[in-house]
């Protein structure tokens, strides 16, 4: 209950309000504080016709206090969610403690509520006029398209103009706000009535001590400037498989979905990841491509490709498999070709900067955010994907040597790590609205402690927001002598075991960590790394996955095999037949039993 509610109760106790106290009235010759304002005060007055009607509980807070009359005394009864529909006659009031109270019928129970907490229309149920920003958030001016018109900063004040809907607990889903010239919607969970709390960090004594110690080694920004408030992770009709055992399929493999389903049904595979858009490789002629990127639309193929996706996801669901759609975000040469103004550019020439065989849209640019989220929402609506997986959620890597040459076009003066977390926040919020989950791919390096990465992936900040975090600790990506091995790529269990310990530690540094579902190497060690490198066959894959489980990452795996070769997957079938979670639980139980036996022996 609120502070105001307790204050009201104290006032009621002081005045000892009682209804119908005629002796006090006769003694004083004056009206008591509880005198009825309607015909019940004087029997001589003619009774008014009953005007009971449906009304809504209203107020500036999510829960509104209700009262009861016991032995002619006003007493606290309960609270009720703002927006609740009740029956009441607002013309009949009882006066007590400076309040005009109205009797309401709530689920057959007669209670009292202040008249000011009733509204004839649901649009008048929300009474707050000013709020403060607790978590920096995107302002959406067109809900249907998720179009961003601005950013409200932490601690800043906003004017409340309206709202879209009320949740069952009385909280507002999204407020219609204004700040300066920006008018649009912000999720209610990012706003607070209290200006002081808006400026504070979540559990600052604990989390600030962790994240303030992180150094900005490469100029990507400070971890302490990110948001670590708990995030409520939704559960939709189809829950996230936990663990998830997943195969990755590229765009060319989508047309052979039945063959991959056959393999999945012979193994423990319960999830399939399908490419929707990779760099210069769009999966189908999406309407989003037509609106935002004609080149992606052109290379998206004929509408026959659309039917392939419809069929593929339908068949996955028919067979009880979980469907994930993968989208690369901030590496998209086609989008830059069509929208050069969103690109990372060369300061001298003003032209898009070419890096790692691609042009990169700037992660600071909201139009890039909107494009990718719009594509994700379209894929969910058209094909019923259960989850969207975002890859390349980062700035380009290995850019330190050219940092002075390039322009990222930082409109909102954000740090890089802020931009990446805010994109994940925006994408997750908007995709949840259409009933799908969000997973985020991160480099294996982001599990390292002590610094924010050069490309702006800071593990705790992203894991806290997303539903699933999918790291990519491929053994052949580790430098020689990593974890004490000259050739860490030839030692999958040792390498992944050491890496997983770091990742598990990062999971502990945020209040609501995502499920950790890890990409595992399913291809032969690259020749430029080691011409004699091992082939990642069924045994090597199983060693990778067991290393994850043995060190606390129990959310499952996704195979990274860019070719999506069915024959190669079949040759690795033995790795996919293992229930790693059950195997791990059995191991944990054996260890627990052993400890109990030792304890009993000591006694």
What pLDDT, in 10s, does the model give residues 227-236? Answer: 999 999 999 9
| pTM of this prediction exceeds 0.75 | yes
**For the chain, domain boundaries:** 3-124, 130-200, 223-592
CA Rg, the chain, in Å? 30
pLDDT of residue 599: 65
Q: What is the dihedral of CA 422, 423, 426, 432, to 10 degrees?
A: -130
**In this structure, how many other beta carbons lie within 10 angstroms of the beta carbon of residue 417?**
25
User: Counting runs of H as helices and runs of E as strands, what totals does the chain give?
Assistant: 17, 29
Name the H helices within 464-579. 492-507, 538-550, 566-571, 573-576
Residue 477 burial by CB count (10 A; 0-12/13-18/19+): exposed, middle or buried?
Answer: middle
Three-class SS of 312-342? HHHHHHHCCCEEEEEEECCCCHHHHHHCHHH
**In this structure, how many other beta carbons lie within 10 angstroms of the beta carbon of residue 162?**
12
Its CATH class, for the domain covering 130-200, is: mainly beta
Which among 562, 536, 522 is positioned nearest to 249, based on CA atoms?
A: 562
Q: Cis peptide before 243, with omega less than 30 degrees from 0?
A: yes
**In this structure, how many other beta carbons lie within 10 angstroms of the beta carbon of residue 54?**
10
pLDDT of residue 15: 41
> Are 426 and 381 within 8 A, CB to CB?
no
* Residue 34 phi, psi (nearest 5): -100, 10
Per-residue b or e along 528-567, where b marks 16 or more CB atoms closer than 10 Å to that residue's CB: ebeeebbebebebbbbbbbbbbbbebbbbbbbbbeebebe
What pLDDT, in 10s, does the model give residues 358-367? Answer: 999 999 999 9
3-class SS at 189? helix
Residue partners of 60: CB distance under 8 A and separation at least 6: 126, 127, 128, 193
Could you say which DSSP state residue 125 is in?
A: S
Q: How much helix, strand and coil, in percent to the nearest 5, is found in the chain?
A: 35, 25, 40
Residue partners of 278: CB distance under 8 A and separation at least 6: 250, 251, 326, 328
pLDDT of residue 266: 98
> Are 292 and 374 within 8 A, CB to CB?
yes
pLDDT of residue 8: 45
Token readout for 57 is 């509980």
Residue 489 burial by CB count (10 A; 0-12/13-18/19+): exposed, middle or buried?
Answer: buried
pLDDT of residue 4: 47
Q: Name the CATH code of domain 223-592 (choices 3.40.50.970, 3.50.50.60, 3.40.50.10070, 3.20.20.80).
A: 3.20.20.80
> Are 534 and 573 within 8 A, CB to CB?
no
Query: Rounded to a whole number, what is the distance in angstroms from the first to the last CA of the chain?
Result: 49
Q: Using CA atoms, how far apart are residues 309 and 299, in angstroms rounded to an integer?
A: 16
pLDDT of residue 593: 78
> Are 391 and 328 within 8 A, CB to CB?
yes
Q: Using CA atoms, how far apart are residues 178 and 368, in angstroms rounded to an integer?
A: 24
* Distances, alpha carbon 253 to alpha carbons 257, 298, 303, in Å: 7, 20, 17
Q: Using CA atoms, how far apart are residues 179 and 244, in angstroms rounded to an integer?
A: 43
Q: Using CA atoms, how far apart are residues 436 and 564, in angstroms rounded to an integer?
A: 25
Residue partners of 64: CB distance under 8 A and separation at least 6: 57, 58, 79, 80, 81, 82, 113, 117, 170
Which among 486, 475, 466, 371 is positioned nearest to 420, based on CA atoms?
A: 466
* Distances, alpha carbon 6 to alpha carbons 3, 16, 70, 77, 82, in Å: 5, 15, 18, 12, 18
Q: Using CA atoms, how far apart are residues 313 and 121, in angstroms rounded to an integer?
A: 43
Name the H helices within 300-434. 303-318, 333-338, 366-383, 416-432
3-class SS at 229? coil
Mark the ranges of the chain whose per-residue pLDDT is less than 70: 1-50, 69-72, 597-603
Residue partners of 128: CB distance under 8 A and separation at least 6: 60, 160, 193
The string of DSSP codes covering 480-506 is TTGGG-SSGGG-HHHHHHHHHHHHHHH
């Amino acid at each position: 209950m609120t502070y105001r509610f307790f204050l009201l109760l104290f006032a009621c106790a002081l005045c000892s309000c009682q209804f119908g106290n005629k002796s006090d009235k006769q003694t004083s010759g004056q009206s008591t504080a509880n005198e009825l304002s309607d015909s019940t005060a004087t029997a001589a007055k003619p009774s008014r016709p009953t005007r009971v009607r449906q009304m809504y509980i209203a107020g500036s807070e999510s829960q509104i206090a209700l009262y009861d009359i016991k032995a002619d005394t006003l007493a606290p009864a309960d609270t009720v969610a703002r927006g609740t529909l009740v029956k009441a006659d607002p013309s009949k009031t009882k006066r007590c403690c400076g309040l005009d109270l109205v009797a309401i019928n709530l689920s057959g129970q007669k209670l009292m509520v202040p008249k000011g907490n009733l509204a004839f229309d649901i649009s008048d149920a929300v009474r707050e006029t000013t709020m403060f920003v607790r978590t920096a958030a995107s302002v959406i001016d067109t809900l249907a398209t998720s179009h961003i018109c601005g950013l409200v900063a932490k601690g800043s004040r906003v004017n409340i103009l309206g709202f879209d809907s009320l949740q069952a607990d009385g909280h507002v889903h999204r407020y219609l706000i204004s700040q300066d010239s920006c008018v649009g919607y912000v999720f209610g969970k990012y706003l607070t009535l209290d200006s002081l709390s808006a400026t504070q960090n979540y559990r600052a004594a604990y989390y600030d001590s962790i994240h303030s110690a992180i150094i900005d080694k490469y100029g990507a920004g400070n971890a302490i400037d990110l948001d670590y408030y708990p995030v409520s992770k939704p559960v939709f009709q189809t829950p996230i498989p936990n663990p998830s055992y997943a195969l990755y399929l590229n765009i060319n493999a989508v047309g052979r979905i039945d063959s991959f389903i056959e393999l999945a049904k012979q193994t423990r595979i319960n999830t399939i990841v399908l490419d929707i858009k990779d760099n210069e490789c769009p999966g189908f002629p999406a309407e989003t491509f037509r609106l935002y990127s004609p080149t992606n639309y052109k290379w998206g193929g004929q509408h026959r490709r659309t039917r392939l996706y419809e069929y593929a996801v339908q068949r996955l669901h028919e067979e009880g498999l979980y469907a994930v759609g993968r989208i690369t975000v901030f590496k998209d040469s086609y989008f830059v070709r069509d929208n050069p103004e969103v690109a990372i550019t060369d300061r001298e020439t003003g032209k898009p900067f070419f890096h790692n065989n691609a042009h990169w849209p700037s992660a600071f640019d909201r139009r890039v955010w909107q494009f990718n989220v719009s594509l994700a929402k379209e894929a969910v609506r058209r094909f019923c994907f259960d989850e969207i997986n975002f890859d390349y959620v980062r700035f380009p890597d290995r850019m330190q040597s050219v940092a002075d040459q390039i322009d990222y076009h930082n409109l909102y003066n954000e740090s890089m790590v802020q931009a990446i977390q805010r994109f994940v926040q925006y994408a997750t919020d908007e995709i949840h609205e259409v009933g799908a989950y969000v997973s985020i791919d991160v480099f294996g390096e982001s599990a390292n402690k002590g610094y924010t990465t050069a490309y702006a992936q800071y593990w705790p900040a992203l894991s806290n927001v997303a539903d699933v975090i999918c790291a990519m600790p491929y053994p052949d990506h580790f430098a020689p002598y990593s974890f004490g091995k000259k050739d860490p790529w030839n030692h999958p269990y040792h390498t992944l075991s050491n890496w997983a310990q770091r990742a598990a530690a990062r999971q502990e540094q945020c209040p609501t960590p995502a499920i950790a579902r890890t990409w595992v190497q399913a291809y032969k060690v690259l020749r430029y790394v080691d011409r004699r490198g091992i082939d990642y066959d069924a045994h090597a894959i199983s060693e990778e996955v067991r290393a994850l489980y043995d060190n606390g990452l129990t959310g499952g795996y996704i195979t990274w095999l860019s070719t999506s070769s069915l024959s190669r997957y079949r040759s690795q079938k033995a790795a996919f037949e293992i229930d790693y979670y059950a195997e791990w639980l059995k191991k944990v139980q054996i260890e627990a039993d052993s400890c109990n036996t030792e304890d009993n022996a000591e006694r």
